[in-house]
Amino acid sequence: MVKEKALTSNSLLHEMFQVGVYKRSQGRITRQVTFFVLAVTVALAAWSLYISLGAPPRFLASTVEAAQLQWVLPAVVLLAGIWIAYRAVNLPRFADFLIAVEAEMNKVSWPSRTELIRSSMVVIFVIFVLAFLLFSYDIIWQSLFQWMGILKSN
């Protein structure tokens, strides 16, 4: 029986500074999409940091230091975040999970365009029927409670 190597902080740190791609040809689409989503999230966080650092802090004497802080700190966050996202999708356990996800997605039988439209129309119709039914129940209960004197008329 083969024992799996436990993911310790030392091996995680070692894995973060490698450059290679784990199982390069497998699960490419899922890994690329996951990396893109993580990179966009990091970019939005860096942009938010850049915006929040727009006004120079009072403790900085010169505006040059404030400008450097406003540009350098978000750039460091962006670069570090993108590198961590790149390495995260290549961690063996996470990459194996993404490879398995892509394999399962290839097994899915997707509906045709006409089936999709028909099913969507049924769902939308049922939602409107249920909304009308709940509205009717609300009106009936409101008028009943007003007739009984529990609710006052507006």
Cβ atoms of residues 102 and 29 within 8 Å:
yes
Confidence band of 2 (pLDDT split at 50, 70, 90)? very low
Mean pLDDT, the chain, as a whole number? Answer: 83
Half-sphere exposure of 49 (CA within 13 A, CB side): 16
Highest mean pLDDT out of 9-13, 22-26, 40-44: 40-44
Q: Which residue has the higher pLDDT, 52 or 59?
A: 52
Domain boundaries, the chain: 9-108, 112-154
pLDDT surpassing 60 at residue 99: yes
In 3D space, the residue among 45, 21, 40, 41 whose CA is nearest the CA of residue 31 turns out to be: 21
Q: What is the pLDDT of residues 108-132, one digit of tens each?
A: 998 999 999 999 999 999 999 999 9
The whole-model pTM stands at: 0.59
**Burial class for 144, CB neighbours closer than 10 Å (0-12, 13-18, 19+):** exposed
DSSP-assigned states of every residue in 57-107 = PTT--SHHHHHHHHHHHHHHHHHHHHHHHHHHTTSHHHHHHHHHHHHHHHH
Letter for the amino acid at 42?
A: V
Rounded Cα distance between 16 and 27, Å, is 20
